[in-house]
Structure 1
Amino acid sequence: MARMTHSRYASSRRAFLAQAGALGIATGIGTGIGTGICGGIGARPAWAASDGVLSRAIPKTGERLPVIGMGTWITFNVGNDTALRAGRAKVLETFFERGGGMVDSSPMYGSSEAVIGHCLGRLADKGSLFSATKVWTPFKWLGVRQMEESERLWGTRRFDLMQVHNLLDWDAHLETLQAWKAEGRIRYTGVTTSHGSRHEEMAEIMTGQPIDFVQFTYNILDREAEDRLLPLAAERGLGVIVNRPFQGGALFDRFAQHPLPGWAAEIDCANWAQLFLKFAVSHPAVTCAIPATSRVDHMRENMGACYGRLPDAAMRARMIRHVESL
C-alpha cells in the first residue's frame, strides 16, 4: 500500500482543517485530551473522559463510544476448543474491565460470532457492550437469514450496528438495513472496506446513502483515508471505525525492535501499541479503532490508549516523522 509523505500529509491536513472550520469542527477542548468534533461554541466536545475513559460522540446521535474497541478477525476464530474459548472470555472480560465498548465481528470470521456469544454468556458485566457485526453475502434474501443467525450466535435481539461487509452487494443490503433500523431491530447502519481498497465507491456511498458509520483502514503508515474519506465523514456527520490500526501486526514487525521514543510519555504512551492507537484515534474525524488480540496482556496494552493525553497536530506530525525515519 502506498505511503503518504509528510508534506502530502501536511497539505491534506491543512485542507481538512480549512474545511473543518467551515463545518464547526473543533480541534481542541483546552484539556490536553486532544482534538474533537463539537456542535459549536458552548457545546459538549466530542472528546470526553468518563471515569478517565476517552470517548467520542457518534455524530448522528451524540451517544458516546470509547475510542478503543475490539476486532475479532482471526483472534476469536477458535471453534469449539474449550481452553481457547476460556482464554477469549478472559480477553473480553479485560476489555470491558478497562472501559471498552465496541466489539466488531462478521460472519466472514469463521467461528468468531459463536465464540463471542459463548464468551458474553460467561461474563457477569458486559453493560458497556456496543455490538457490531456485518452482513456478507451476494444475495439479499440470504443477508436476512445471515443477520438473524448472527443474533442467535451473539445471543442478542438487537445489534447496535449492522454493516455491509466490504461493500458486497451494498445497495441491496442497505435497503434491508434501513428497514431493520426503522423497525428497531438495529440501531445504526454502516458499510466497511479495508486495506485501502474501493475508496471512491465508499465516498459515493457516504455522499448518497443515509448511513451512520463507515469502517476502513487507517494507521500511522496507511494514511490514504486522510485524502478523502476522513474529511468527507466529518462533513457528512458519519462515525468512523478504524480497522487495521496495527497494519495487521506489521507495525510491530517493523518497529518493535526500536526503543519507544522518550517523548511518547508526553501523550501517556508506555508502549508501541498505545502510540499507534493514539495516532489513529486522535484524528478529529475518527470515532474508534478496533484492534484485535488473543492475549490478555496485549488487551491491557491496547486499552491503555483509552486513557491519558492524546497527540495534537504537532505531535502527530512528529510521530509520523519518527516512524518514517526508522
Structure 2
Amino acid sequence: MSLTLDSYRLLGRSGLRVSPLALGAATFGTEWGWGAEQEEARKLFDLYVERGGNFIDTANTYTDGSSERLLGAFAREHRESLVLATKYSTLRRPGDPNSGGAHRKSLFASVEASLRQLDTDYIDLLYLHVWDFTTPVDEILRGLDDLVRQGKVLYVAISNAPAWQVSRMQAIADLRGWSPLVALQIEYNLIERAGERDLIPMARELGLGVVPYSPLAGGVLTGKYTRDDLTGTGAVPGVPGESARKSFNLALGTLTERNLAVADAVKEVARELGRSPAQIGLAWTLSNPAVTAPVIGARTPAQLEDNLGALEVDFTASHLARLDEVGAIGLGYPHDLLAGDHMRKVTAGDLKIETRH
C-alpha cells in the first residue's frame, strides 16, 4: 500500500481532499479520565500536521468542550490548510432538552458554540452525531443546507444512524437541491463489522465516504488486553488513565472472549509481517475500498507514530483472508439469501454477467 498522510483522497461525492488517516481529537483533554494534557495534545497535532495530515475530527461535547478549544488554539496558524470536522446533537447542558438532538434549534446553537470554541469562522465538515428518532428529516436537511448557504459550514455528513434513514435523506437532498451528505462516520473495525450489512454498501452507492471511528476497537486490537482483563478488576500498571479506559470497554461489551480471539489473530499477523498489532488493525480497515480515512485516537506521540506506520503495511492475500475470516459476521436476510446459489440460479441461470462495482 505504502501511503503517506499527503496521499490525499476525495471525501465521498465531494471534491474535498483529505488525508487517508484522520487525527481524532477526542483525546485532547483529560476530562473523561484518559487523554492528553494540552502540551501533549499539541505534540500530537504538530506531528500529524508536519507529516502532511490535514483531516482532524472532533465533536462539540468531546472532553466537555476541551477538545474543540484545544484544537482551535492549535489550528489557528494552519486554518486554511486544514479540514476540521465536528459534530452536533449530543446534549450540551444536562436538563435542557433543546441543548441536544438533531432539530434546528440544537443545530444552530451547537454550531455557534463550536465556532466559538474552535475560534474559526467556518466548519469544514459537520456531522449529525447521533440519530434521535424524533426530528423530521426535512428539518435536519433544511437546517444543514441553510448553514452551508450562510458559509458557516462547507460540507455536511452523518454518523450513528440507520442506513435506511441516511439513504432517505440523501434522496431528499438530491431531489430538493439541498446540500448532500458527503461522509458517513461509523464504528468499523475487525471486531465490529455490522456496517458491512447495509451501511457501507449504501455509502458506496450514494457517494458517502466512510470515516470509521474506533478502528482499533477501543484499543482491544492493539493486543494490550488479556483474558485476565475480562474480570474488570485492577489497574493497568504504568499507563495513566488506562484503568478508566478498560472499565469503559467492559461497560460497552468490547472486552469479550470472541473479541480477544480476533485480537490474537491480529497479533499473529503482526509478528509475521514485522508490524505492530495497531498497524495491522488500522491497515485492514484501510484495505476496504469504501473507507476514506479511519479516525486514529492516539494519546501520546509514540502511539501516533506507531499508528501512522499503518500506511506502510502491505498485506499478502493470505494475511488479508485470515483477518477477514476471523472477524467475519453473517450478513443476515436478505443478503445471505440473495448471495446464495439458489437465487443466483433462478435469476441468472448459467449466464455470465459482469458487474462494474
Q: TM-score normalised to the size of structure 1?
A: 0.71
Amino acid at match of 1:229: L
Q: Which amino acid aligns with 1:303?
A: L
The letter of the residue matching 2:282 is L
The number of residue pairs the alignment matches comes to: 264
Give identity over the alignment, percent: 25
| Letter aligned with residue 120 of structure 2 | T
Residue number in structure 2 paired with 1:261:
269
The answer to whether structure 1 residue 241 and structure 2 residue 211 are counterparts is yes
1:95-244 equivalent positions in 2, closer than 5 A = 95-109=48-62, 110-111=64-65, 112-121=67-76, 128-136=81-89, 137-138=100-101, 139-168=103-132, 169=135, 171=137, 172-193=139-160, 198-209=162-173, 210-244=180-214
Q: Contact (CA 8 Å) 1:78, 1:84: kept in 2 or not?
A: yes
Asked if the contact 1:164–1:170 (Cα under 8 Å) also holds between the matched residues in 2, the reply is no
SS in 2 for 1:222: coil
Q: Is the 8 A contact 1:100 1:303 kept in 2?
A: no
1:24 corresponding residue in structure 2: none
Q: Quote the residue 2:306 is aligned against.
A: 301
Distance 2:265 2:124 in 1: 39
User: C-alpha displacement at 1:289, in angstroms?
Assistant: 0.6
Question: Any idea what SS the aligned residue of 2:191 has?
Answer: coil
1:131 is paired with a residue whose SS is strand
Aligned match of 1:275 in 253, 277, 280? 280
- Paired with 1:270 and 1:157, the residues of 2 have a C-alpha distance of 41
The amino acid of 2:123's aligned partner reads F
CA gap of 1:309–1:251, structure 2 versus 1, over 3 A, is closer
Find the structure with the greater CA-based Rg.
Answer: 2
Structure-2 separation of matches of 1:251 and 1:88:
23
Structure richer in helix, relative to its length: 2
Match for residue 71 of structure 1 among 24, 31, 35: 24
Residue 164 of structure 1 aligns to which amino acid in structure 2?
A: L
Cα displacement (A) at 1:84:
1.4
1:158 counterpart letter in structure 2? Y
Residue identity matched to 1:118: A
Alignment-derived partner of residue 3 in structure 1: none
Change (3 A) 1:259 1:277: closer
Secondary structure at 1:107's aligned position in 2? Answer: coil
Normalising by structure 2, we get a TM-score of 0.65
1:174-214 Cα distance to aligned partner (Å, 9 max, x none): 32211121233222101111xxx744434443454431111
Offset at 1:311?
4.2
SS at match of 2:45: helix
Contact 2:266 2:277 in 1 (8 A): no
For each residue in 1:136-187, what CA deviation from the matched residue of structure 2 results, as whole angstroms up to 9, or x when unmatched? 1224223212101211111211111011111244733332211121233222
Does 2:24 correspond to 1:57?
no
Structure 2 residue 268 is matched with structure 1 residue 316: no
Quick one: higher RCO (CA 8 Å, sep 6+), 1 or 2? 1
2: CA distance, partners of 1:170 / 1:308? 44
The offset of 1:281, in angstroms, is: 1.6
Sort the Cα spacing of 1:155 and 1:277 in 2 relative to 1 into closer, same or farther, 3 A.
Answer: same
